[in-house]
A and B are shown apart, each in its own frame.
Chain A
């Protein structure tokens, strides 16, 4: 089947900047959904505010473009009301881990069945390039020079002094039952991970490292989209690979957590409703 059936074609071309990674996430997601053959009338997308959040307007799903950081809270109400719906919640890095940090950790803890996608480009793009909780102090990576180089943003003109969250560790610590990371460069891997995340029963988090050539790239002299994608290729390595074991400066990709725990809507049905009816 064609992925064109899954999009609202009249809104294209999209509003993202040339070279932005978000279109790649949309593409991989559409292919994943197409591969999975999900009934379109069951598909929901709930997003917050920011560049990433605009993704919900482009998909021909039931779509909700909500408030900055609050997408998971809206999605929780939707999913509890109708557990048969298939819910995707794409978020940006500021959206998910700054203003929406509380909703994020509690959605992980609750283990409600939905797929949260953190499109991490380490910057607030929509507002013009401010640092986020995922910007970090240094660029990082394998190359010694860039590892030590300060992160700059319009609100960090002297270099950022804010330590970064590690989204994977945050999700793990908060109890998410499926946690994965990939990048905008690794589109086939992203497609595979989205499918795995969807098929997992419980709260799934997929972090996608994305390039923002317009702001993060420009402010930090990382080149254009091609150079930034190259950076994502060179500085990440598969979990369990020898390269990763030998080089702690590389960022791991793959599935970090995949475990079975009671899912929230099922528990409500099987425990709460069942007991309420016994009384």
Chain B
């Protein structure tokens, strides 16, 4: 890569990634610690032929990006926990109506208003199940500024490929931390453009009929095809239906189009896993701490390894099983009460050997937080 080098915070890296991927519409509402994303896009979007609007609330922002996406624009919104709660209604609509868009949640301490300026990873389960009803979702995360950029590009690509909202679960430390970012030249990272229908004007177009490969070609509002979009269960034309067969088909389609690609969707990084006796699993800014500990202990000859997840949903079960197959113990390092740890326990052969290492005071985890738990587990005292 011989791109442009800059020194930016995670929120700005996210903006640069979104622009690289071709974002052309942003609607948002101010909230700490994600506000810089809105500020940078307010500045940048009008320069590239895009549009920015600050809406009256979080929910309206989520609705507005759905409207803009249906008009053919790559669209995004950004928020933090309290705003993410408010967006759930329209996030569910985007899932049901299969509207590609990206929703950034720069996580802060919760529940409720919680710790507005401090760090947490407490919204992992809300990203999965925040919207009512059965559905599936893609959620990605990152631990460095460079990764935040690349994962954001990937989020747009997946949104377009799977015609679905994609959640970026960043956190306060990542959002506000500054690091070197190398922005690759255009074309270095793949950018997926919207799949448009090739059905000609006057010929019956089915906006909700998946092709054989599962993808659904789109037609923009204002284009030659006029169709209906609804949050109700609908048929292949987008018109409401309560026909048993169609209802079941749609439910399975919305679930399977993502869950059956869980292996392809898995993004991760790994450190010293080949011969690791003890595997740490982490993600987001906690993974930085986990990595520091692993590097330190490796230098002393301890066989520790790290699996850093970048895809949280769909949960990369196969990956976790494969990478922990020979581990004597697994430590899940996260800043919540075990939202990913519970997933790990559910998929590994020996759930009794999965231990949660967490921190709940809003401060970034330290290596000693992890080693303290390991000492207890290893029977070396408190």
Interface check A44, CB cutoff 8 A: yes
Task: Give Cα A63 to B221, complex, Å.
Answer: 8
> How would residues 67 to 110 of chain A score, 1 for a CB under 8 Å from any chain B CB and 0 otherwise?
10010011111111110110000000000000000110110000
Kindly list 18 other residue pairs between chains A and B, CB separation below 8 angstroms, not including A64-B229, A78-B70.
A44-B222, A57-B230, A61-B226, A62-B222, A63-B227, A64-B228, A66-B93, A66-B229, A76-B63, A77-B25, A77-B66, A78-B68, A80-B25, A102-B56, A102-B60, A273-B49, A276-B46, A277-B46
Question: B: which residues have CB within 8 A of A?
Answer: 24-25, 27, 43, 46-47, 49, 51-53, 55-57, 59-61, 63-73, 75, 89-90, 93, 220-224, 226-232, 239-240
Contacts of A44 in B (CB 8 A): 221-222
Report whether B60 and A81 are in contact in the complex, using a CB–CB cutoff of 8 Å.
no
Task: Give Cα A232 to B305, complex, Å.
Answer: 76
Report whether A77 and B229 are in contact in the complex, using a CB–CB cutoff of 8 Å.
no
Task: Give Cα A102 to B59, complex, Å.
Answer: 11
Report whether A77 and B63 are in contact in the complex, using a CB–CB cutoff of 8 Å.
yes
Interface check A192, CB cutoff 8 A: no
Task: Give Cα A44 to B220, complex, Å.
Answer: 11
Task: Give Cα A265 to B152, complex, Å.
Answer: 28
Closest CB of chain A to B60's CB: distance in Å? Answer: 4
Interface check A186, CB cutoff 8 A: no
Report whether A106 and B60 are in contact in the complex, using a CB–CB cutoff of 8 Å.
yes
> How would residues 184 to 209 of chain A score, 1 for a CB under 8 Å from any chain B CB and 0 otherwise?
00000000000000000000000000
Report whether A268 and B51 are in contact in the complex, using a CB–CB cutoff of 8 Å.
yes
14 A-B residue contacts at CB 8 Å?
Answer: A62-B221, A62-B222, A63-B226, A64-B230, A65-B228, A65-B231, A66-B230, A73-B64, A76-B53, A77-B64, A77-B75, A80-B53, A82-B221, A102-B56
Task: Give Cα A275 to B72, complex, Å.
Answer: 25
Tell me whether chain B's interface is mostly helix, strand or loop, or mixed: mixed
Among A11, A64, A102, residue most surrounded by chain B Cβ atoms (within 10 Å): A64
Task: Give Cα A85 to B55, complex, Å.
Answer: 20
Contacts of A46 in B (CB 8 A): 67
- Measured CB to CB, the nearest residue on chain B to A44 is B221
Contacts of A127 in B (CB 8 A): none
Task: Give Cα A30 to B356, complex, Å.
Answer: 62
The 6 closest A-B pairs by CB, nearest first: A77-B67, A77-B64, A73-B63, A78-B67, A276-B46, A81-B71
Task: Give Cα A75 to B70, complex, Å.
Answer: 10
Contacts of A75 in B (CB 8 A): 67
Closest CB of chain A to B195's CB: distance in Å? Answer: 18
Pick the contact of A70 from B49, B52, B90 — CB < 8 Å?
Answer: B90
Report whether A81 and B93 are in contact in the complex, using a CB–CB cutoff of 8 Å.
no
Contacts of B55 in A (CB 8 A): 73, 76, 106
Contacts of B75 in A (CB 8 A): 77, 81
Interface check A272, CB cutoff 8 A: yes
Contacts of B226 in A (CB 8 A): 40-41, 43, 60-63
Interface check A183, CB cutoff 8 A: no
Report whether B66 and A74 are in contact in the complex, using a CB–CB cutoff of 8 Å.
yes
Report whether A11 and B239 are in contact in the complex, using a CB–CB cutoff of 8 Å.
yes
- Measured CB to CB, the nearest residue on chain A to B62 is A73
Report whether A273 and B72 are in contact in the complex, using a CB–CB cutoff of 8 Å.
no
Contacts of A61 in B (CB 8 A): 226
Task: Give Cα A65 to B221, complex, Å.
Answer: 13
Contacts of A103 in B (CB 8 A): 56, 60
Task: Give Cα A67 to B228, complex, Å.
Answer: 14
Contacts of B239 in A (CB 8 A): 11, 57
Report whether A64 and B90 are in contact in the complex, using a CB–CB cutoff of 8 Å.
no
- Measured CB to CB, the nearest residue on chain B to A63 is B228
Interface check A56, CB cutoff 8 A: yes
Report whether B231 and A77 are in contact in the complex, using a CB–CB cutoff of 8 Å.
no
